[in-house]
């Protein structure tokens, strides 16, 4: 990884170096940046979700919201820039180079850290995707700043510091983390944690271009080819409009078929809670919650799921949550919109049959509309 030269030494690490007063050499760091994740010509939707959240932070701080696009010269970068403005960016920084055609940690880290050192943002947000997590960690390490991962809430404190909230202790608690002595303040947010902002067509605004000072022979990793993941379309929980999930309350692995049957009847995706993945009853790409997928469906049906904190933070963005559980004191009833106290094993077949009778194949596709 390339290490950027910092103009001013940073304070010593540890509790002794923590002060509420920001060191003088960081006081000229301003504005909120969002990394626009562009891969193989497509912008990941989490980038637009973060622009919506970044807009709120920038307005509170009375600063500008900027998008950062890294990619090869061509139409895809131009489209990504236009979309960044459509979702609320005030300006966009661009680093275009053939070296950025495919994601590699070293050139992307070099481009981002050089941009930060030159233009000095106070907040930098990235999506907690496979790419985003890899880039965020190396950028934070290179810049010697703090990074809060997998945030569920972002806000600005009374002293204008970024308050980044995330689950901890296996999802049993929520903690708010501050980066007091370093800049930029960095955070990653998983897809679907934040709502998608409204898109508004508007002209492309101010664009600042940055030249990447790196040659191919300086990069250790080489891209030999691209093999798409043939399982990538297997589960689409994060962006499904209707989701049905099962938990330990179903009692046995074979009872998950009841969840799948209902999901098929109403044109939904199916998922599960963490304990079922731990028991190998369902693959990890079907897990819903803080350590799995975060979802924001129009309808979420949870059968036999208790509703621990780590599951709650992954589903509470749903428009309508229907909980089915035999325990009337289950935590899921504290945040579900509709609670049904009954045995899911008996209830799910009856619900599936009722939907099957009432819904035609066409209306199943329209269930969440």
Residue 369 pLDDT level (bands cut at 50, 70, 90): low
Lowest mean pLDDT among 13-22, 110-119, 205-214, 311-320: 13-22
- For the stretch 267-314, pLDDT in tens is 999 999 999 999 999 999 999 998 889 999 999 999 999 999 889 989
Mean pLDDT of the chain: 89
Alpha helices in the chain (DSSP H): 45-61, 75-86, 105-119, 130-143, 256-266, 274-278, 309-315, 344-358, 361-365
- For the stretch 192-205, pLDDT in tens is 889 999 999 988 89
b/e 41-76 (16+ beta carbons within 10 angstroms → b): eebbebbbbbbbbbbbbbeebebebbbbbbbeeeeb
pLDDT of residue 173: 76
In eight-state DSSP terms, residue 216 is G
Lowest mean pLDDT among 9-23, 90-104, 117-131: 9-23
Residue 330 pLDDT level (bands cut at 50, 70, 90): very high
pLDDT of residue 310: 84
Predicted TM-score of the model (pTM): 0.80
- For the stretch 251-270, pLDDT in tens is 999 999 999 999 999 999 99
Q: At what angle do helices 75-86 and 45-61 cross, to 10 degrees?
A: 50
pLDDT of residue 313: 86
pLDDT of residue 16: 44
- For the stretch 38-74, pLDDT in tens is 998 999 999 999 999 999 999 999 999 999 999 999 9
pLDDT of residue 13: 47
């Amino acid at each position: 990884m390339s290490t950027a030269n910092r103009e001013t030494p940073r304070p010593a690490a540890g509790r002794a170096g923590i002060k509420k007063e920001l060191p003088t050499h960081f006081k000229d760091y301003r504005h909120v940046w969002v990394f626009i994740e562009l891969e193989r010509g497509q912008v990941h939707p989490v980038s637009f979700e973060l622009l919506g959240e970044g807009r709120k932070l920038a307005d509170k701080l009375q600063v500008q919201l900027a998008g950062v696009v890294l990619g090869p010269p061509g139409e895809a970068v131009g489209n990504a820039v236009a979309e960044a403005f459509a979702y609320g960016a005030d300006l966009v920084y661009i680093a275009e180079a053939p070296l950025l055609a495919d994601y590699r940690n070293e050139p992307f880290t070099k481009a981002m850290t050089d941009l930060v050192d030159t233009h000095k943002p106070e907040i930098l947000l990235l999506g907690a995707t496979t790419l985003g997590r890899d880039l965020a960690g190396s950028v934070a390490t290179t810049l010697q700043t703090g990074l809060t991962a997998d945030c569920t809430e972002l806000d600005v404190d009374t002293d204008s510091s970024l308050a980044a909230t995330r689950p901890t202790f296996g999802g049993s608690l929520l903690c708010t983390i501050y980066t007091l002595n370093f800049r930029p303040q960095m955070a990653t947010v998983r897809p679907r944690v934040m709502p998608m902002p409204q898109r508004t067509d508007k002209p492309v605004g101010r664009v600042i271009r940055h030249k990447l000072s790196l040659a191919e022979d300086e990069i250790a990793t080489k891209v030999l080819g691209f093999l798409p993941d043939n399982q990538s379309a297997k589960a689409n929980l994060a962006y499904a409009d209707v989701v049905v999930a099962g938990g330990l309350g179903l009692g046995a692995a074979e009872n998950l078929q009841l969840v799948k049957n209902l999901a098929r009847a109403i044109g939904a995706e199916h998922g599960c809670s963490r304990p079922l993945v731990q028991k190998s009853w369902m693959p990890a790409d079907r897990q819903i919650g803080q350590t799995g997928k975060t979802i924001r469906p129009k309808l979420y049906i949870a059968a036999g799921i208790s509703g621990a904190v780590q599951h709650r933070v992954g589903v509470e963005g749903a428009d309508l949550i229907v909980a089915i559980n035999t325990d009337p004191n289950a935590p899921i009833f504290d945040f579900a919109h509709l609670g049904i106290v009954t045995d899911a094993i008996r209830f799910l077949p009856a619900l599936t049959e009722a939907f099957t009778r009432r819904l035609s194949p066409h209306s199943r596709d329209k269930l969440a509309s």
